């Protein structure tokens, strides 16, 4: 069995932690930031934020050429501090929300997959996180 490796991405959002948590977890916000480039969108999000609860984010190319579900099951939740979930393929993801002098630091650590290179995965997840930062800082 292959040993798992993880990639970490992070950003600091100039907003209080409770507001950042709301933007991260509420479907009405998720659909506005959960994509890596302007060629993609997230037309639908469902989120049952509790241990054993599930989430599904529909990811779609704006030109209609591709669509897929990004989904998983929550394994640990510490309100306003940490979320851990397992993706459908069994990989683990942990997101930390840390109070920082400039707002809230988000550190996201995810288990790599074997289809795309580590660099592609890191760049894609970082792009989504950067999109989240822009959305969160532009909204109340």
Q: Which residue has the tokens 């609860």?
A: 53
Cα 71 to Cα 57, 88, 91, 103, 125: the distances in Å are 6, 6, 11, 28, 15
> Which among 139, 78, 104, 107 has a CA at the least distance from the CA of 18?
104
Predicted confidence at residue 14, as pLDDT, reads 98
pTM, two decimals, is 0.93
User: What pLDDT digit, counting tens, does each position of 17-54 carry?
Assistant: 999 999 999 999 999 999 999 999 999 999 999 999 99
* pLDDT greater than 80 at residue 3: no
What architecture is domain 6-138? 2-Layer Sandwich (3.30)
User: What pLDDT digit, counting tens, does each position of 41-98 carry?
Assistant: 999 999 999 999 999 999 999 999 999 999 999 999 999 999 999 999 999 999 999 9
Residue 45: strand pairing partners: 57
Helix 17-25 / helix 118-138 crossing angle, nearest 10 deg: 120
Dist CA 96 CA 82 (whole Å) = 4
Predicted confidence at residue 1, as pLDDT, reads 39
């Amino acid at each position: 069995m292959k040993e798992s490796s993880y990639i970490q991405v992070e950003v600091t959002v100039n907003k209080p932690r409770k507001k950042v948590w709301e933007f991260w977890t509420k479907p009405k916000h998720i659909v506005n930031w959960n994509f890596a480039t302007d060629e993609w969108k997230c037309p639908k999000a469902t989120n049952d934020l509790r241990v054993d609860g599930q989430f599904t984010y529909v990811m779609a190319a704006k030109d209609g050429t591709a669509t897929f579900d990004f989904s998983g099951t929550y394994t640990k939740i510490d309100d306003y501090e940490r979320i851990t979930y397992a993706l459908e393929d069994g990989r683990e993801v942990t997101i930390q929300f840390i109070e920082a002098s400039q707002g809230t630091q988000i550190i996201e650590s995810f288990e790599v997959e074997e289809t795309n290179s580590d660099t592609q995965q890191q760049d894609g997840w970082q792009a989504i996180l950067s999109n989240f930062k822009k959305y969160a800082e532009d909204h109340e």
